Homo-oligomer: A and B are copies of this chain.
């Protein structure tokens, strides 16, 4: 890919999988909760099942089958469908709500904070996630993610990869789309960004879905940049 990236002034980052390791975080909280409540279950499978409900739920919003709904609400509906199977149906409403907010407390990948700090020295760095604003705000506060600002699909009331999300982000940043680079570990997100005129950087997260599922690096000419992690991306961007 030989697109000119010299005009890029802001980097927008996908968050789940790209910046934070949702699978380990959810598994860990499930394990702690199970120990506390005396419930035995496969908490990795629980994490995968919870995350697995997200794409279909979001698709129903994207197609207009459901009206605009925040991820917090989608997550809760998916969780409610899993409680019986994982021995958690006796949780109080407050406990269920707290468990649902595990998505506000996800841990970053080991390279994420250092990589973001470096890129922050040369660019405006912004979250651009399908997660809602409060989720992203709480997560940044909890994990120490050094965003210059937090943007979300919620501000466009459209989910990625709908073009409205990327267009809204560029507009709010006061930039043309070609001055913004989307950074993500998912090709469909970057393809949506590119269709809206943004530059694209792929970050390889081979362990996002665990060691049993292989995630190949895309061919190097698929996106403007291809990086092994956020420190590698920082270096490629000269920061």
A140: interface (CB < 8 Å): yes
Cβ contacts A2-45/B at 8 Å (1 or 0 each): 00000000000000000000000000000000000000000000
Tell me which of B124, B135, B155 contacts A138 (CB under 8 A).
Answer: B124
Min C-beta distance of A129 to chain B, whole Å: 12
A interface residue count range (under 10 / 10 to 19 / 20 to 34 / 35 or more): 20 to 34
Whether the Cβ atoms of B72 and A133 lie closer than 8 Å is no
Q: How far is the CA of A132 from the CA of B175 in the complex (A)?
A: 13
Residue of B nearest to A132 (CB): B174
Judge if A117 is at the interface, Cβ distance under 8 Å.
no
Asked if A1 is at the interface (CB within 8 A of a chain B CB), the reply is no
Identity of the chain B residue whose Cβ is nearest the Cβ of A155 in the assembled complex? B155
In angstroms, how far is the closest chain B Cβ from the Cβ of A18?
A: 19
Q: Is A88 in contact with chain B by the CB < 8 A criterion?
A: no
Residues 110-140 of A contacting B (Cβ, < 8 Å)? 120, 124, 126, 132-138, 140
Interface centre among A72, A126, A172 (most CB of B within 10 A): A172
Chain B's closest residue to A147 (CB) is: B149
What would be 22 A-B contacts, judged by CB atoms less than 8 Å apart?
Answer: A72-B174, A120-B141, A124-B137, A124-B138, A124-B141, A126-B137, A132-B172, A132-B174, A133-B172, A133-B174, A134-B173, A134-B174, A134-B175, A135-B174, A137-B149, A137-B173, A140-B148, A141-B148, A147-B149, A149-B149, A149-B150, A154-B172
User: What 4 pairs across the A-B complex have the smallest Cβ distances?
Assistant: A134-B174, A133-B172, A137-B149, A149-B150
